[in-house]
Amino acid sequence: MPELPEVETTVNGLRPVLQDQRITLIQTRRADLRRPFPADLGQRLTGATVTGLGRRAKYGLIDTDRGDTLIFHLGMSGRWRIDPSETLPHDHLIVETAKHRLALNDPRRFGSVDLVPTESLAAYPPFAAMGPEPLGPDFTAPYLLRGLAGRIASIKLMLLDQRIVAGLGNIYVCEALHLAGIAPMHPAGQISLPRLKRLVAAIHTVLEAAIAAGGSSLRDYVRPDGELGYFSKQWRVYGREGEPCDCGGKVERYAEGGRSTFWCPKCQR
């Protein structure tokens, strides 16, 4: 599933194509993805001008001058195609401007598209209970210390809890915990402030490197320009079970919360 860096990369790829452009056509080529398309999507967006693009957690945001924001989620296999030479069977939403044609392609249809008033974004149900952005100013070690106080669940599971921090996924949590030297099964409420400071810094480092690399290409995900993200070549532990760690230990894997966790018992405590 595309995680925060993949969505940020997608938004960065769409920005030079859509920013300040007037939408001339909206076409839905089926009734739904994971949920139905908004019934009035074409009526509300045709003729609107894109005023900004952004991201919240794993959702992309496209703001317009009509006071509406289109919210998209890429699900398991979604991606935007820019100026495709042909329309593919799984191109389920077409957006056209005077200069470009974009297609939202989603073979598995686990993605979603919603349209909400921009002023009501904070109340959009998936956003209402979310924690701060991991690259934002509110995500700090003192914040984590307060939020994790008394929690006996593992730090890995707590970082995946969107109420604690928005948008972190399995790959980048494994990588950040390794960089910070923290064992993923360590009880979250027992981690000291100095170690949480290392963890916050590690999360910043891992996410910024992943965004710079264009994300990690897993199965169906590619960038809007069709190129593959290459952060997977920098993975320290994820997907490397049995391989040597830089510290001389060996990467191990275990299952927790329905996900595989990769870590090094030698350097993560």
- Strands 112-117 and 68-73, sheet pairing: antiparallel
CA 230 to chain centre: 16
| 2 included as an active-site residue | yes
Question: Which of 151, 198, 253, 259 is the catalytic position?
Answer: 259
| 259 included as an active-site residue | yes
How many Cα atoms are found within 13 Å in the side-chain-facing hemisphere of 117? 3
DSSP string spanning 203-233? HHHHHHHHHHTT-B--TT---TTSPPPBGGG
Cross-strand bridge partners of residue 101:
96
DSSP string spanning 57-75? TTEEEEEETTSEEEEEE-T
> How far lies 196's CA from each of 30, 202, 237, in Å?
46, 10, 20
Question: Which of 55, 58, 79, 156 is the catalytic position?
Answer: 58
| 96 included as an active-site residue | no
DSSP string spanning 52-115? EEEEETTEEEEEETTSEEEEEE-TTT-EEEES-SS--TTEEEEEEESS-EEEEE-SS---EEEE
Question: Which of 3, 6, 8, 133 is the catalytic position?
Answer: 3
Catalytic residue set: 2-3, 58, 259
